[in-house]
Chain A
Amino acid sequence: MKLCRDTLRIRILTISIVSINGSIKIPSDSEYETLIWIDMPKYLNKGKSITINGSIKIPSDSEYETLVWLDEDRYPGLRRTSDFPCFNPVAMSGFFDAPKAVIKIPKGLDRFALHLYVESGSPVIYFNTVENRPPLRLYAGAKWNIRVYERVIDVLFVDFESQIGRLWVILERV
């Protein structure tokens, strides 16, 4: 799938009907095309001053960054000048092996979901400092999600209870 397409084709692989924006129903295992793509391209308005979504005014010869993929046919004069920086829901992802790991939450990431999956072993996870008790005790096969709306977690210390173990971590922007 290319990022810089005018339409986005996604294949829904769910086992049931999916609803988008509360109204569009997509049957399972079917394709859906949409003009909206959540990246952050830059646009340059080479035409007259225009208004987007009824409220955002883009003066002539000015640049505009948005999370929404805009239809250039709908806004004459608007030209996409850059596809980047793209929106990316993943701030960090990877695995950490036994016996120990330190996972620093990237600076500037204040709202995030912490997704943990234990591939093997029994990791014990301390929040912000190893002195912070009790820790989170996980086990092989455990899937765990913690959602944080303010930066109350700054760093994670992972201490496996044995010499073998692997913890997968995904930090998602929310």
Chain B
Amino acid sequence: MPTYRNSSDERLVVSGQTLEPGQTIATNVYYYIDGLAEISDEPFYDPVIASERLTITASHDVDIEIPSGVESFSIDIFVKSGDVDLAINGSSNRLMLTAGMRYSEKCLSRIIDVINVSAVSDAEVIYNILRI
């Protein structure tokens, strides 16, 4: 979300909004418009809500919690090595994944709140949670 200033002497229209000379606008979008000067890069747009590489020793577990306030998202869990099982929202029906397998889900509403990852053997797990 860079911030821009109208450094020209004329009125500009940026993202449907009229910008008087000297006026600033903070937007998600990167613009390349004559007379529009970028004055700040921050805050930055990031499609990733959370990501982590987990190393879990056998018989231990980690909770992947969907951050609060996130309603629609996609989640991807990849087991790089070892064996794990997943419990979605505390369910006793666990999903078993071995090295090279992945679990992914697109959630248009918050149907997943937490995923428990339990290592059957020493495991390395990568997960990403993205905005959709």
Q: A residues touching B (Cβ–Cβ < 8 Å)?
A: 107-108, 110, 122, 127-129, 131-139, 141-142, 146, 150-154
What are 13 A-B pairs with beta-carbon distances under 8 A?
A: A122-B80, A127-B45, A132-B46, A134-B46, A134-B52, A136-B47, A136-B128, A137-B128, A139-B126, A150-B28, A151-B29, A151-B30, A152-B30
Q: Which positions 1-48 of chain B face chain A at CB distance < 8 Å?
A: 28-32, 41, 44-48
Q: What CA separation (Å) do A108 and B46 show in the bound complex?
A: 20
With a cutoff of 8 Å between Cβ atoms, the chain A residues found around residue B44 in the complex are 127-129, 131-132
Do A134 and B28 have beta carbons less than 8 Å apart?
Answer: no
Q: A142-B78, A150-B29, A151-B31 are in contact. Are A137 and B126 (CB under 8 A)?
A: yes
Please name all residues of chain A whose beta carbon is closer than 8 Å to the beta carbon of B127 when the two chains form the complex.
Answer: 137
B53 within 8 A of A: yes
Query: In whole angstroms, what is the CA distance A131 to B32 when docked?
Result: 22
List of B residues within 8 angstroms of A133 by Cβ: 46
**A150 contact set on B, CB distance < 8 A:** 28-29
- Find B49's partner among A110, A128, A132, A134 (CB 8 Å cutoff): A134
In Å, the complex CA distance between A137 and B100 comes to 15
Asked whether B51 is an interface residue with its Cβ less than 8 Å from the other chain, the reply is yes
Q: Which residues from B are CB-within-8-Å of A132?
A: 44, 46
Distance between Cα atoms of A139 and B31 in the complex (Å): 32
With A128-B41, A137-B128, A139-B78 already in contact, the answer to whether A152 and B48 are too (CB < 8 A) is no
Name the B residues within 8 Å of A137 (CB-CB): 51-53, 126-128
Among A131, A134, A152, point to the contact of B45 (Cβ < 8 A).
A152
Residue of B nearest to A107 (CB): B32
Chain B residues with CB under 8 Å of A131's CB are 44
The complex places the Cα of A127 from the Cα of B48 at a distance, in Å, of 9
In the complex, are the beta carbons of A136 and B51 less than 8 A apart?
yes
Rounded to whole angstroms, the CA-CA distance of A2 and B113 in the bound complex is 53
Contact with A along B46-83 (1 / 0, CB 8 A): 11111111000000000000000000000000101000
B74-120 residues at the A interface, CB under 8 angstroms: 78, 80, 100
Bound: A108/B80 CA distance, A: 38
Given contacts A151-B31, A152-B29, contact A134 B78 (CB under 8 A): no
Determine if B80 and A139 form an interchain contact, defined as CB atoms under 8 angstroms apart. Answer: yes
Q: How far is the CA of A122 from the CA of B78 in the complex (A)?
A: 12
* Cα distance, A172 to B102, chains bound together (Å): 26
Q: Tell me the bound Cα distance from A86 to B4 in angstroms.
A: 34
Inter-chain contacts of B51 with A (CB < 8 A)? 134-137
Residue of B at shortest CB range from A126?
Answer: B46
